Amino acid sequence: MNALLLALLLSHLGPRPEVLLGATPAARARGKPTVRKVKATQAPPDTPPDARAKPPQGLPPEGAEDQAPSGPPTPEVSDPLLTPVPPAPIQMRSWDEALELVRQRSTDLSTAQAQVESAGGQARVALAGLLPSLNGTVLTQLNILDTDNTSLFFGGGSGGGGGLGGGTTGFQTSDPPVTGGSDTQTPTKPPVAGLLTASVALFNYQAITTLRTAREGQRTATLSLAETRRQLSLALARALVSVAAQERLAEVNRVNLRSALERLALAQRRLELGAGTRLDVVRVQQDAETARALVVVGDEDLRKAREALGLALGTPEAVGLAPGVRVESLMQRAQKDCRTLENLEGRSDLAAARSRITVAERQISSVKAQYVPSLSLSSTTVALTVKEDAVNVPFWNIGATLSLPFWDGGVREGLLRQSRAQATSARQQSLALERSVTIEVAQARRGVKVAQDSRDISSREQKLAEENDRLTRRSFEVGTGTSLELIQTAAALRQAELALVVREFQLERAKVEAFLAEAACDW
């Protein structure tokens, strides 16, 4: 027992020599003195009753040892860093609330939906190549040099070439009247003509293959949208777990800082009483500064995690978790919005990769279809304004067109080589994705067991570090331990507590990743 402890004990003694103090082995193991009472001599008969009732001076009252604290009182400490980080301006209370923000604000989701819409538009354009088309043209002309001698010209590039033979046809509108059909009628001045052209493809293999390719591309975009939903669910779950972990780490950092400041106050008190050295204070102060640094870094990590959650939710502000929200309940609700797949082949990214191969192969067929002749049916009618009647229809033509693609300078050959290369690239990308997904799923399944074992080991390490720190602190209080041992055990406890928090949230993250690795999200 050192001089400081002896001085503290003797300060409680009274002048009565028959009072004996001692420290039991159990008390020494706990690092605190225990008062052991010895039966006092019987008081003389003439002793006043009040004097007999009073316990001997220096002894605690009856039962006081049962009410005594387990150790010395904890010193009061204060530090600006002990103040927690202010809560985030936006706080999530449930998974459904977070998912609703993702639906409304996610740029990735909006982009994937726009790609689905674009693919649908391309499919509709491809379908138009197989459906009838109907075009109308209304025109009027005036001969500036001779207003009385005006002719109407219908060029092949104005939409009437199909029925008029693709050349330029003119109708004389000067006096005497021109003949349109079986009757002779005089056109109006200025003349007005209407041209109506209709066409339909009787056989167009290129349009058929283009439509099939476009519809498969639409299916690819839909599968990509499903994969985007799965990735957004995974990113949201990771962000929520990260925020919860960083909030817990920030809390643990402050607990460790308070403990370090309490050890510093104890070392300074020992130095003031002459039982400690300046070296002890410096060592403990170094440990306190290390704890402060962890608080500063942990607070910044918490702010970054909140900002990352805000970006995942589609907002530029920091987002945190509402008080009392447990990450376990959030993850359980997240698993209800996604369904487990019966086999890995149904995962959206693998299905999209296989669909891209189909698109590339059909593009090859589309290029080959350009070598096949096409047959179309067209009809054209013209109406003129005349003086004798409102409208005169001079003719109505109907014809068929057979297109024979003999030579285009090598354009089709180049497109064929390009489409074949794209198909090969799509196959290789799909094969690489299948390999990586197989490893990803295997690692995700194994990761849950690894995270569980790591969490259990960290839990045992934390308990041992806590007990070691408690015993070392008691030894330091009674003077049998050194400041170096106190700092080492405190640092070990701090690392064990932080590791336990990280392992707990890694376990939750591993469970979510293992589930979503073989799931489809249809929200």
Q: Say if 454 falls within a structural domain.
A: no
Q: Say if 344 falls within a structural domain.
A: yes
Q: Say if 234 falls within a structural domain.
A: yes
Q: Assess whether 195 and 300 both reside in one domain.
A: yes
Does 350 have pLDDT greater than 90?
A: yes
- Residue 72 is predicted with a pLDDT of 55
Range 421-446 average pLDDT = 95
Q: Provide the whole-model pTM.
A: 0.73
SS3 state of residue 157: helix
Q: Assess whether 59 and 94 both reside in one domain.
A: no
Residue whose C-alpha is closest to residue 430's, from 504, 350, 341: 350
Give 86's strand partners: none
- Residue 49 is predicted with a pLDDT of 42
Q: Assess whether 59 and 98 both reside in one domain.
A: no
pLDDT, one tens digit per residue, over 155-211 is 544 433 333 333 444 555 544 454 444 456 677 888 888 999 999 999 999 999 999
> What pairing do the DSSP bridges indicate for beta strands 319-321 and 90-92?
parallel
Q: Say if 85 falls within a structural domain.
A: no
Q: How many CB atoms lie within 10 A of CB 289?
A: 13
Q: Assess whether 24 and 104 both reside in one domain.
A: no
Q: Assess whether 187 and 271 both reside in one domain.
A: yes
Three-point CA angle 74, 77, 81, nearest 5°: 135
Q: 234 lies in which domain range?
A: 90-404+416-437
- Residue 274 is predicted with a pLDDT of 82
- Pair 233, 108: CB distance under 8 Å: no
Give 519's strand partners: 340
Q: Assess whether 337 and 370 both reside in one domain.
A: yes
Does 417 have pLDDT greater than 70?
A: yes
What is the average pLDDT value for the chain, to the nearest integer?
81
Does 40 have pLDDT greater than 80?
A: no
Three-point CA angle 247, 249, 252, nearest 5°: 115
pLDDT, one tens digit per residue, over 275-287 is 778 888 898 899 8
Does 323 have pLDDT greater than 70?
A: yes
Instruction: Considering only the C-alpha atoms of the chain, give the largest distance between any 2 of them, rounded to a whole number of Å.
Output: 164
> 181 is written with which tokens?
């059909």
Q: Which amino acid is at 214?
A: A
- Residue 289 is predicted with a pLDDT of 93
Does 86 have pLDDT greater than 80?
A: yes
pLDDT, one tens digit per residue, over 141-166 is 888 887 777 676 655 444 333 333 33
Distance in angstroms (rounded) separating the CA atoms of residues 404 and 386: 41
Q: Assess whether 289 and 398 both reside in one domain.
A: yes
Q: Assess whether 260 and 354 both reside in one domain.
A: yes
- Helix intervals (H) in 171-316: 205-273, 278-312
Does 387 have pLDDT greater than 90?
A: no
Three-point CA angle 408, 412, 418, nearest 5°: 150
pLDDT band at 74 (very low <50, low <70, confident <90, very high): low
Q: Say if 445 falls within a structural domain.
A: no
Q: Assess whether 214 and 356 both reside in one domain.
A: yes
pLDDT, one tens digit per residue, over 217-227 is 999 999 999 99
Q: Please state the domain count of the chain.
A: 2
Give 185's strand partners: 178
Q: Assess whether 48 and 187 both reside in one domain.
A: no
Q: Say if 221 falls within a structural domain.
A: yes
Distance in angstroms (rounded) separating the CA atoms of residues 298 and 285: 20
Range 476-482 average pLDDT = 79
| CATH code for the domain in which residue 281 is found | 1.20.1600.10
Q: Say if 389 falls within a structural domain.
A: yes
Q: Say if 243 falls within a structural domain.
A: yes
Label residue 493 exposed, middle or buried (CB < 10 Å: 0-12, 13-18, 19+): buried
Q: Assess whether 152 and 58 both reside in one domain.
A: no
pLDDT band at 20 (very low <50, low <70, confident <90, very high): very low
- Pair 231, 102: CB distance under 8 Å: no
Q: Assess whether 162 and 270 both reside in one domain.
A: yes
More confident residue, 154 or 34: 154
Does 58 have pLDDT greater than 60?
A: no
Lowest mean pLDDT of 49-63, 228-242, 465-479, name the range. Answer: 49-63
Label residue 402 exposed, middle or buried (CB < 10 Å: 0-12, 13-18, 19+): exposed
- Residue 3 is predicted with a pLDDT of 42
Rg (CA), the chain: 45
